[in-house]
Amino acid sequence: VRGARPGEQRVSQDVLHLFRLRREHRLLRMRLDGVQGEFQTLLLEVDVPGQRLLLDEPFPLPLPLEAMTGRRVQVASNEGAASTRFDTLVLGKALHKDVPLMALAMPPTVSAAQRRNSYRLAVDDRIPVEAMLRRAGVGTLDARVLDLSVQGIRLEVPGHHPELNQSVAPLFLRLGGEQGMLCQLQVRSLNLRSYGDDTTLLGGQFDGLNPPQVQQIERFIVRSQLSQRQPELALAL
């Protein structure tokens, strides 16, 4: 990247587009040479030193991953006319934390347009998320998560709490069966509601998460997004 210090690896604009796809958890369309139909997947890792991409198993799985080795593949994101596109080669099966993934060679070029903001996952009752906000003088507030990204969160808490506006409060977050994490939430927006029970809607940015916790959120969002889309994709295919 521009301004890299001596000894650091420079990252091309093409690779930055791939990191954007991973960061925004864009659903990808895939076509394999010699295989009919279009398949869906997600980009999970951009391995620059290994010159490869790691993707979730295509849905529906057209062939065993080992049988795809050596095939050309065309990949495009679901972003309308501004889709990010690239062609490359299937390297085969890769394991990441005992999960089978598809490994692709790093594409020589990527056709893409710059996009906005990181992907936000809308959270419903089917998505197992637990959150608690702690506030001095108020105690612990059980919170309902409305949406989630790697950068921040939107919550609904019972009661009116105008004192939280533009504040920093400890937040406990548990995603599925994973170990809970504690960070600071910088509250950026707040809205008091009085429809039926009084509630406070607030949105903010995470502060104090370590890299493994950020990766945990990323993987949870990816899996949840794919789970949400599978019934729709099954009908489309």
Distance between CA atoms of residues 220 and 225, nearest Å? 8
Tokens of 22: 């991973």
Kindly indicate the confidence band of residue 26, based on its pLDDT and cuts at 50, 70 and 90: confident
**What pLDDT score does 114 carry?**
44
Distance between CA atoms of residues 136 and 141, nearest Å? 11
**What pLDDT score does 50 carry?**
92
Average pLDDT, the chain: 82
Rounded to the nearest angstrom, the gap between the alpha carbon of residue 37 and the centroid of all alpha carbons in its chain is: 26
**What pLDDT score does 170 carry?**
94
Q: Residue 33: which of 64, 61, 73 has the closest Cα?
A: 73
118 or 235, which is more confident? 118
Kindly indicate the confidence band of residue 84, based on its pLDDT and cuts at 50, 70 and 90: confident
Distance between CA atoms of residues 58 and 235, nearest Å? 16
- Residue 54 CB neighbours (<10 A): 20
Do 205 and 149 form a contact (C-beta atoms < 8 A)?
A: no
pLDDT, tens digit, 9 for 90 and up, residues 172-211 = 999 988 889 999 999 999 988 887 789 999 999 999 888 8
